[in-house]
Structure 1
Amino acid sequence: MGVRFGVVAAILTIGLGGCAPTPTLRNVLAKNYRGYDQLLPASGILPDEGRYQYLPGNVIALELTEPRTFEAAAVWSEKSSIYCPINIPLSALKSAKAKDAYVLHNFDLSLRQSLGFDKAKADLRLEENEIEVLRRVEISVSSARTYRLYPGQKPNFSRECFAAIAGRPDLYRLRTILAGDVRIRILFKENVSLIAKFVVANKIKSNLGFGFLNGVAQDYDATNMVFAAKVSPTKVSLTPSLTAGIKAASPHQK
């Protein structure tokens, strides 16, 4: 149901210096896009596809892989493309511009003093020798937009789809989605070999949350991707009115 780019579980951690933990994309979401949680896998937008898996209003099976904290958004992973689409294309939904975001971690600062080396290895998901070759890592989110149903706009759910998922305990409603362009820039220290750059850059990409990135050298872009959403638990039961068959469940988190 739609083209999807391969993605792995975590996002690269990028710091602001000082004694605070190095932020991940979860921290970027919590700070800049309050209420939005990370979606895995991220997916390229299909504006004219009414059966796209990340349409706002969709009912979808998700697994909570990382809970929300005060400083970090939750991470939700899609379960085997189990969802019921609203059958309204994204181009027909309400969109609004969201602010852009930018964070930087400068490794010219004393990493051992600012974070502690063991803490840095855990946050960055890199080994000691891999951290030593980095000088700077940047992440930016641009052209950010949110999408949601217009007030009074009703989904066109399929009864057959509801029959297939009714009663599942892992169903959630995507209330709003967040999309944009994500750019990652990695700057290595001098005299780092091409092999070391290749290995570390690919490990960072695999820890990034976006497995499909365009770019050359150590400058990577993922364009027009849905990577976050506001998520609410829900229940589905077959009723004469399909819309009435969607009921809010007790939230799993605040």
Structure 2
Amino acid sequence: MSEKLFFSKYQGAGNDFILVDNRTGFFDRSNVDLVKSLCDRRFGIGADGLMLLQDIKNFDFEMVYFNADGREGTMCGNGGRCIVAFARDLGLINDNTAFLAVDGSHEAKIQREQVDLGMINVSTTARDGAAYIINTGSPHYIQFVEDLKNLSVYDAGYAIRNNDTYREAGINVNFIEQESDGGYFVRTFERGVEDETLACGTGATAAAMAVALANGLEGHLEIPIRVLGGQLYISFHRAGDLFTDVRLKGPAQFVFSGKI
């Protein structure tokens, strides 16, 4: 790789990402230390993750996602929305796109600074005690709680993510509480970041599905999810354990660009 790396920074509801145009294939995706150092908030650019935008046949682009720990990760919903905005700003797409990610193909629509992203279908859910276990492209643990604003999400999330069941593979831990307006508030401890983040798109999607399961809601549903970094909207069609036409909508905004 050359001495200087050109990058752009985007955020989606407070989930922030480093975006790199890797259509020439110059970036060494096996360099864990490099990715980790770029995501470092004190010694690097600082981000929850890094994404490479790459060329691939039959799609507008490929999304390759890395967690802040430097390792390639599973699907990131807010990252997916941000890379769509990045592709638009590069002039690769207009208002609609189809791209490939680690969990398969996705399509998205852009409406100003809002990106409406199609997510994978979900057909299998599980329980761990009172909690729900749902994989929406990344594995999630969802627990309903009270007084979420005062919960120590780092301590509670760290304990669950590192217990005997989840220590080896890891899991994202989401805590959810219904609000007075009928929406829901979600806070998430993310594996790979190993800390609470301001938002998690796949987590918000899983949490919305847990709401449907817990309340016996069927048919076409839209569930607003508030996160620390803003507002997300999850919609899907539920028939039993099958969730189809799953969509994640929220802001995806350019922050700055530079070279390092």
Q: Do both proteins adopt the same fold according to a TM-score greater than 0.5, normalized to the shorter chain?
A: no
User: Relative contact order (C-alpha < 8 Å, sep 6+): which is higher?
Assistant: 1
Highest CA radius of gyration, 1 or 2? 1
Greater per-residue strand proportion: 2
| TM-score normalised over the length of structure 1 | 0.25
